[in-house]
Structure 1
């Protein structure tokens, strides 16, 4: 199992608004090796920003890389059609973390 986490720092008040965009479904669900997406809001002390972790689970790293190269990826990462072009993005920064799952305990 391969997990990719996109750690996204956003302006205060935007994490809950943005989270459903990542889990609304779409072409990613039909891609080989895709398992699931979870969006977490990290508890932090900063009053000006919020941190979100967008976690995607894949069977292999190759499956993830194929997603990144796909037209479906490009479509999923376009700015929403209802947003104004002069509107500033609530995203302040992001960091991608890639990991192989080595051990799991399920109930």
Structure 2
């Protein structure tokens, strides 16, 4: 199993405002190999919020199929609401293979 994490730094106060947008579209639920999305917001830094949007996939091939799909393009083409100025400071995508799990 693999995780794809979008690590996003946003302007202070925007993490919780933006979080619902990452789970608003239900189209991911129809994709083979998709398991779930977690949206984590850290407000500890004084000058920004940190978001980790982590999706879980059975295989990288299944993630890549979604990434080049029309569903992906539609989700990522949405225009930002408000003043038009993006609250995103930076982002980085990290793809990892799950090497171990301890769960209850």
TM over 0.5: yes
Deviations 1:26-82 (A, max 9, x none): 21110110000001112433x22111000000001111111110000001112247x
**Root mean square deviation, CA, Å:** 1.5
Residues in 2 aligned to 1:43 and 1:91: alpha-carbon distance in whole angstroms: 14
8 Å contact 2:15–2:43 — kept in the other structure? no
> Which blocks of at least 5 consecutive residues in structure 2 are unaligned?
none
SS at match of 1:89: coil
Deviation at 1:94, TM superposition (A): 0.2
Partner of 2:87: 90
Mapped to 2, the partners of 1:16 and 1:100 lie a distance apart of 27
User: Displaced runs of 4+ in structure 1, greater than 6 A?
Assistant: none
Counterpart in 2 of 1:76?
Answer: 75
The separation in 2 between residues aligned to 1:50 and 1:42, in whole angstroms, is: 6
Structure 2 residue 36 is matched with structure 1 residue 61: no
The TM-score with structure 2 as length reference comes to: 0.91
* Secondary structure in 2 matching 1:96: strand
Q: Over residues 74-106 of structure 1, what are the superposed CA-to-partner deviations in whole Å (9 max), with x where a residue is unaligned?
A: 01112247x25x611111110011100111122
Would you say how many aligned residue pairs link Structure 1 and Structure 2? 104
Separation in 1 of the partners of 2:44 and 2:66?
31
